[in-house]
């Protein structure tokens, strides 16, 4: 006995099989966004503020840095400065006053050290000169100055100064003092604090013909040092 076969829409199916209507899909509804957590929003704002603050700190630190010349190996007074003797160092916080910018490094090569330049130190302005110290016709004289007889902050190496001869002590006031009030031009070589903590040890370069007189005045503690404005 053969089973009946129905054909509907070109599809053969056994007779008596109920037809399944095609599924009808409705419109797709949009998904609603999840509820935002205020705590995460606050954390995101804090993170943005911290990032901006960190960027500003880094920028301010880099902007305040300066690159200056430093001494790579010790150069003694009077020696010629070679390229290998110098290097550069980066200083933060605006740098130090009286330093030499790294752009002037090559200009210093071939000059002579005005005083001893220890390795690792920052090179100061006036630390090197075109001629040896003392130069021809000049003499280096050491002075020991009591407190108040020298401007402490202005006696940088290479600074021009005047040496003023003071009057003789009261014990010798009866004799005429031809040196009192006389001035002698000089140039600072180096300075250091005295062992007593109050005096100043100052090395100066003076004219060779005046060196003996200045040394005698210094031994009698009759010398004061001044530096004029604009010099």
Chain mean position to CA 27:
72
Contact 205, 184 (CB under 8 A): no
Whether residue 30 is contained in a domain is answered as no
Do 91 and 160 have their domain in common? Answer: no
Q: Burial letters for 191-202: b for 16+ Cβ neighbours within 10 Å, e otherwise?
A: beeeeeeebbeb
Q: What is the DSSP letter of 127?
A: S
CATH number, residue 115: 3.90.1210.10
Residue 208 lies in a domain: yes
**Domain stop point among 81, 96, 129:** 129
Range(s) of the domain holding residue 148: 138-226
Residues 125, 143 share a domain: no
List the one residue out of 207, 203, 201 whose CA is nearest residue 188. Answer: 203
Q: Judge if 118 and 144 occupy the same domain.
A: no
Same domain, 151 and 103: no
Radius of gyration of the chain (CA): 43
Residues 157 and 112 in one domain: no
What is the structure's pLDDT at 213?
A: 94
**């933060």: which residue's tokens?**
92
Residues 219 and 149 in one domain: yes
Q: Is the peptide bond before 208 cis (omega within 30 degrees of 0)?
A: no
Same-domain pairing of 118 and 186: no
Domain boundary at 80, 108, 129, which? 129
Note down pLDDT in tens along the chain; length 231 residues. Answer: 445 555 555 555 555 555 555 555 556 656 655 566 777 778 888 888 888 788 766 665 555 567 889 999 998 877 889 999 999 888 775 556 678 888 888 999 998 887 788 998 888 888 888 777 777 788 999 999 998 898 877 788 778 899 999 988 765 555 667 888 899 999 888 888 888 888 889 999 999 999 999 999 999 999 999 987 655
pLDDT at residue 16, as a whole number = 56
Q: Are residues 124 and 142 in the same domain?
A: no
Any domain includes 50: no
């Amino acid at each position: 006995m053969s089973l009946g076969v129905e054909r509907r829409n070109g599809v053969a199916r056994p007779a008596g099989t109920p037809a399944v209507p095609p599924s009808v899909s409705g419109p797709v509804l949009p998904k609603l966004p999840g509820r935002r957590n205020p705590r995460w929003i606050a954390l995101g704002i804090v993170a943005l503020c911290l990032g901006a603050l960190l960027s500003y700190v880094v920028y301010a630190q880099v902007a305040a840095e300066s690159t200056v010349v430093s001494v790579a190996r010790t150069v003694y007074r009077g020696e010629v400065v070679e390229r290998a003797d110098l290097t550069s160092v980066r200083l933060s916080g605006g740098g130090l006053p009286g330093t030499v910018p790294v752009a002037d490094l090559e200009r210093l090569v071939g000059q002579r050290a005005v005083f001893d330049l220890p390795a690792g130190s920052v090179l100061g302005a006036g630390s090197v000169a075109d001629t040896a110290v003392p130069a021809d016709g000049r003499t280096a004289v050491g002075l020991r100055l009591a407190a108040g007889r020298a401007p402490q902050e202005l006696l940088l190496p290479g600074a021009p100064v005047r040496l003023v001869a003071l009057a003789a002590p009261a014990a010798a006031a009866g004799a005429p003092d031809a040196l009192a009030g006389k001035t002698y031009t000089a140039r600072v070589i180096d300075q250091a604090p005295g062992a007593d903590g109050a005096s100043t040890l100052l090395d100066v370069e003076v004219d060779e013909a005046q060196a003996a007189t200045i040394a005698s005045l210094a031994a009698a503690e009759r010398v004061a040092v001044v530096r004029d404005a604009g010099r």
